[in-house]
A and B are shown apart, each in its own frame.
Chain A
Amino acid sequence: MSTYDKPLPELTEDNRPFWDGLRERSTLTMQKCDACGHIRYPIGRICPECLAPGGTWTGLSGRGEVLSRIVFHQVYNKAFADDVPYNVVLVQLDEGPRMFSNVVGVPNEDVRVGMRVRLHCDPVTAEVTIPRFVPEEP
């Protein structure tokens, strides 16, 4: 794990609970607005729906559906040179938010729009566990 050279998140006070949730509890954790209940992503200090500040970091089920799926053949960052072709998916989480990620453990051809997926935690450094997904039913 000492040689991980791909992009990593910059841990800040704003996003630390998201990354701590993955590392410590293997859970996707996002901010739920205390005023309107909207779960927001990307991470932010105010609710984009009602502008209420703060919110409560809330564990999600980690389950969702693939909205879109693409496969990178072009190497845009040489750290990914050994990974191409690799997939990137847009995931619709069951609780409402959407995020980009990768579906791992299956060939790219088997990753399809509409497929159900669940969270798969991938610890890449001592501090950072990247949220990826696997098919919900193997």
Chain B
Amino acid sequence: MSSLKAESLKDRAAIVGVGKTPQGKVPGSTQLSLATGAFTAALEDSGLDKSEIDGLLTFPGTTAPEGPLNYLRVAETLGIDPAYTGSMSMGGGTAGALVQMAAMAVANGMATNVACVFGDAAKTGGSRFNRASGWGDSWGIWGMMGAAANSAIAASRHMALYGTTSEQLGEVAVACRRHASLNPDAVMRKPITIEDHQASRWIVEPLHLLDCCLISDGGVCVIVTSAERARARDLKQPPVFISGMGQAYTSRTLERPDWWYVPHQKDALDRAYAMAGVGPSDIDVAQLYDNFTISVLLWLEHAGFCGVGEAGPYVEGGRIQLGGDLPVNTAGGNLSESYMEGWLHIVEGVRQLRGDGGERQVDGAEVCLVTGRGMTLNCSNAMILSKDGLK
């Protein structure tokens, strides 16, 4: 891992507003209507005036017809002439990457209040997640296609090397669903058991249906401002500080023998821990990117909650459920709340640190780990969010 010295960004930015649209199937919605709906909700949450938003970073999702020009379309629709803007597409790695860009911008005076905006009409507008990967010759030649395939490759190898079982993957699904049952806004709220998980049909073996996230319509927005401003001003919500940030990328897929294990995730986490000056024992609650159940196991290992190959036994016995050692994905995650490509993980991290978790609140939560990962197991990031900033 390259040694980076980004400690000067610790606690220099804060999240002061979060917003989301209805999730699931939202008839008549478009990428743009969902993105702007989420912006409006986040602005309302923050108490800021639209005229104060001078930064706009967007993720076009899979259904914005203008693609990478999405920032222009969203800004025009919202009537904003930003000082700082752009769009980025890293799949599930985008949310964290954009919020980190926003934090860098406000910490360095390039903008004052940056809105990070996502919308996707993936359910209504037609899922675009089923293409085959591979540069040059498409992996579709061998029938290697669809979003579950890469995670299934990871799960199969993890099982073969470490003895991880499908039931252990099921523990992740059960935990997320239990948490979603306590979240009135979640799409899937009916509790499930390990037996339900085992009885659900295969999608791509070794992944069952209940190992998979829910393609959904929805929008999410996160507003970031500088820590100085967040502290100096009487804002509507208590600010949540961005104490640690880290990113890392395994751009090589087949050229890297351990690509399936997403080894770069550990680098992203170590960078975030180093900036914040914390380690796994300091984390009160975690929002770990869960496009498929296996992803949570890999995050737990890379984040140091357990050793390499030990995440299967680690998640047994409800350890990642509310009341367990490490509550994970307390709103239900991509698996049961809604597949918002990890954007709602940031929202839930903020809610937990504001103490707004309702029935699913982790008592006394002060430090939250949030992770994201996207593309063909390539793009990862981690953030340490804290209630008061970290000394």
A interface residue numbers (CB < 8 A to B)? 6-10, 14-15, 18, 40-44, 48, 67-74, 76-77, 80, 83, 85-86, 88, 90, 92, 97-102, 112-114, 130, 132
Other-chain residue from A14, A70, A83 in contact with B205 (beta carbon distance below 8 A): A70
A42–B251 Cα distance when bound, in Å, is 13
Which residues from chain A contact B203 at a C-beta distance below 8 Å?
73-74
Complex contact A113–B136 (CB within 8 A): no
Which residues from chain A contact B201 at a C-beta distance below 8 Å?
73
B137 touches A (CB below 8 Å): yes
Complex contact A68–B134 (CB within 8 A): no
Complex contact A68–B205 (CB within 8 A): no
A2–B130 Cα distance when bound, in Å, is 26
Distance in angstroms from A119 CB to nearest chain B CB is: 14
B143 touches A (CB below 8 Å): yes
Complex contact B142–A101 (CB within 8 A): yes
- Identify 29 residue pairs between A and B in the complex whose beta-carbon atoms are under 8 Å apart, listed by A's number: A6-B140, A7-B132, A9-B138, A9-B141, A15-B137, A41-B254, A42-B134, A42-B136, A42-B137, A43-B136, A48-B255, A67-B257, A68-B154, A69-B156, A70-B156, A72-B149, A73-B202, A76-B145, A76-B146, A77-B140, A77-B143, A90-B153, A90-B260, A97-B255, A99-B254, A100-B254, A102-B143, A113-B157, A132-B142
Of A9, A15, A72, A73, the most chain B CB neighbours within 10 A belong to: A72
Tell me the residues in window 74-109 of chain B with beta carbons closer than 8 Å to chain A beta carbons.
Answer: none
B9 touches A (CB below 8 Å): no
Which residues from chain B contact A86 at a C-beta distance below 8 Å?
143
Complex contact A70–B137 (CB within 8 A): no
Complex contact B160–A114 (CB within 8 A): yes
Which residues from chain A contact B130 at a C-beta distance below 8 Å?
76-77
Quick one: closest A residue to B207, CB to CB?
A: A70
Complex contact B252–A48 (CB within 8 A): yes
Distance in angstroms from B311 CB to nearest chain A CB is: 17
Which residues from chain A contact B142 at a C-beta distance below 8 Å?
88, 100-102, 130, 132
Which residues from chain B contact A43 at a C-beta distance below 8 Å?
136-137
B152 touches A (CB below 8 Å): yes
A98–B259 Cα distance when bound, in Å, is 11
Please classify the interface of chain A as helix (H, G, I), strand (E, B), loop, or mixed, using the class held by over half of its residues.
Answer: loop
Distance in angstroms from B56 CB to nearest chain A CB is: 35
B206 touches A (CB below 8 Å): yes
Tell me the residues in window 244-295 of chain B with beta carbons closer than 8 Å to chain A beta carbons.
Answer: 252, 254-255, 257, 260
Other-chain residue from A68, A77, A97, A99 in contact with B153 (beta carbon distance below 8 A): A68
Which residues from chain A contact B145 at a C-beta distance below 8 Å?
76-77
Quick one: closest A residue to B209, CB to CB?
A: A74
B194 touches A (CB below 8 Å): no
Complex contact A83–B143 (CB within 8 A): yes
B117 touches A (CB below 8 Å): no
Which residues from chain B contact A74 at a C-beta distance below 8 Å?
146, 148, 202-204
B interface residue numbers (CB < 8 A to A)? 130, 132, 134-146, 148-149, 152-154, 156-157, 160, 201-206, 252, 254-255, 257, 260
A42-B136, A70-B153 given; A85·B205 CB < 8 A:
yes
Other-chain residue from B135, B255, B260 in contact with A68 (beta carbon distance below 8 A): B260
Which residues from chain A contact B138 at a C-beta distance below 8 Å?
7, 9
Distance in angstroms from B148 CB to nearest chain A CB is: 7
A7-B132, A70-B153 given; A100·B148 CB < 8 A:
no
Quick one: closest A residue to B133, CB to CB?
A: A100
A6–B145 Cα distance when bound, in Å, is 12
A97–B136 Cα distance when bound, in Å, is 16
Of B142, B149, B153, the most chain A CB neighbours within 10 A belong to: B142
Quick one: closest B residue to A7, CB to CB?
A: B140
A99–B142 Cα distance when bound, in Å, is 10
A71-B204, A85-B202, A88-B142 given; A41·B149 CB < 8 A:
no
Distance in angstroms from B162 CB to nearest chain A CB is: 12
Other-chain residue from A7, A8, A14, A40 in contact with B255 (beta carbon distance below 8 A): A40
Which residues from chain B contact A114 at a C-beta distance below 8 Å?
160
Which residues from chain B contact A76 at a C-beta distance below 8 Å?
130, 145-146
Complex contact B254–A97 (CB within 8 A): yes
Quick one: closest B residue to A90, CB to CB?
A: B153
Query: Lowest 8 A-B CB distances belong to which pairs?
Result: A113-B160, A7-B140, A71-B205, A73-B202, A76-B146, A70-B152, A68-B157, A68-B156
Complex contact B157–A67 (CB within 8 A): yes
Which residues from chain A contact B206 at a C-beta distance below 8 Å?
70
Of A18, A70, A101, A112, the most chain B CB neighbours within 10 A belong to: A70
A86–B142 Cα distance when bound, in Å, is 10
A15-B137, A88-B142, A100-B139 given; A72·B153 CB < 8 A:
no
Quick one: closest A residue to B146, CB to CB?
A: A76
A76–B201 Cα distance when bound, in Å, is 15
Quick one: closest B residue to A80, CB to CB?
A: B143
